[in-house]
Amino acid sequence: MKLFQQRKAPKWILGLALLGGSCAMNAQEQEKVQGFVHEQSDESGYVWPTDSLVLKKLDVWKDQKFGVLFHWGLYSVPGIVESWSICSEDVDWIPRDTTWTYDEYKKWYWGLKDSFNPVDFNPDQWADVMEDAGMRYVVFTTKHHDGFCMYDTKETDFSIAHGAFKDNPKKDVARYVFDAFRKKDFMIGAYFSKPDWHCPYYWWPYYATPDRNVNYKIANHPERWEKFCQFTYNQIGELMKGYGDFDILWLDGGWVGSAKQDIHMDKIVDMAREAQPGLIVVDRAMRGKHENYQTPERGIPEKQLAYPWESCITLSNDWGWVPNAPYKSATKVINMLAEITAKGGCLLLGVGPTPQGLIEQSVVDRLHEVGEWLRANGKAIYNTTITPYYQEGNIWFTADKDGKTLYAIYALPDGEQLPDTLTWSTNVPKGKMTVLANSKRASYQVEGEKVTVTLPKGLPNQPLVLKFAWKK
Report the CATH number that the domain containing residue 63 is assigned in CATH: 3.20.20.80
Task: Check whether residue 376 and residue 396 sit in a common domain.
Answer: no
What HEC string does 306-345 produce?
A: CCCEEEEEECCCCCCCCCCCCCCCHHHHHHHHHHHHHCCC
Count of the separate structural domains present in the chain: 2
292 vs 39: CA distance, rounded Å: 15
Task: Check whether residue 271 and residue 330 sit in a common domain.
Answer: yes
Task: Check whether residue 303 and residue 429 sit in a common domain.
Answer: no
Task: Check whether residue 223 and residue 254 sit in a common domain.
Answer: yes
pTM above 0.75, yes or no: yes
Q: What pLDDT score does 420 carry? A: 96
E-assigned strands of 65-197? 66-70, 137-143, 187-193
336 vs 326: CA distance, rounded Å: 17
Which amino acid would we find at residue 104?
E
Task: Check whether residue 146 and residue 175 sit in a common domain.
Answer: yes
Report the CATH number that the domain containing residue 445 is assigned in CATH: 2.60.40.1180
Task: Check whether residue 360 and residue 425 sit in a common domain.
Answer: no
In a structure prediction context, what are the per-residue pLDDT tens digits for the chain, which is 472 residues long?
Answer: 223 333 333 332 223 222 223 333 343 444 444 444 555 556 667 999 999 999 999 999 999 999 999 999 999 999 988 899 999 888 877 777 778 999 999 999 999 999 999 999 999 999 999 999 999 999 999 999 999 999 999 999 999 999 999 999 999 999 999 999 999 999 999 999 999 999 999 999 999 999 999 999 999 999 999 999 999 999 999 999 999 999 999 999 999 987 889 999 999 999 999 999 999 999 998 989 999 999 999 999 999 999 999 999 999 999 999 999 999 999 999 999 999 999 999 999 999 999 999 999 999 999 999 999 999 999 999 999 999 999 999 999 999 998 899 999 999 999 999 999 999 999 999 999 999 999 999 999 999 999 999 999 999 999 999 999 987 7
Q: Which helix (H) or strand (E) holds 13?
A: helix 11-14
Closest CA to 380 of 467, 469, 471, 301: 467
Look at residue 385 and tell me if it is in a domain: no
Look at residue 181 and tell me if it is in a domain: yes
Task: Check whether residue 291 and residue 411 sit in a common domain.
Answer: no
Look at residue 204 and tell me if it is in a domain: yes
176 vs 122: CA distance, rounded Å: 9
Task: Check whether residue 376 and residue 406 sit in a common domain.
Answer: no
CA distances from 107 to 82, 101, 110, 323, 386 (A): 16, 10, 5, 23, 50
For Cα atoms 96, 99, 102, give the angle at the middle one, nearest 5 degrees: 55
Look at residue 386 and tell me if it is in a domain: no
Closest CA to 284 of 41, 81, 82: 41
CA distances from 445 to 227, 241, 404, 450 (A): 69, 59, 20, 8
Order across the sheet with 248-252: list the strands. 280-283, 248-252, 187-193, 137-143, 66-70, 346-351, 310-314
465 vs 326: CA distance, rounded Å: 28
Cα 388 from chain centroid (whole Å): 27
Task: Check whether residue 352 and residue 428 sit in a common domain.
Answer: no
Residue where a domain stops, chosen among 380, 415, 450: 380
Q: Which helix (H) or strand (E) holds 453?
A: strand 450-454
Task: Check whether residue 268 and residue 364 sit in a common domain.
Answer: yes
CA distances from 214 to 50, 92, 193, 262, 337 (A): 33, 22, 13, 11, 37
Task: Check whether residue 460 and residue 321 sit in a common domain.
Answer: no
Strand bridging mode 421-425 / 248-252: unpaired
Look at residue 170 and tell me if it is in a domain: yes
Look at residue 37 and tell me if it is in a domain: yes
Look at residue 119 and tell me if it is in a domain: yes
Q: What pLDDT score does 38 carry? A: 56
Residue where a domain stops, chosen among 358, 380, 402: 380
94 vs 212: CA distance, rounded Å: 12
446: domain range?
Answer: 391-470
Task: Check whether residue 374 and residue 417 sit in a common domain.
Answer: no
Q: Tell me how far apart the 2 most distant CA atoms of the chain are, in Å.
A: 74
397 vs 342: CA distance, rounded Å: 6
Residue where a domain stops, chosen among 351, 380, 409: 380
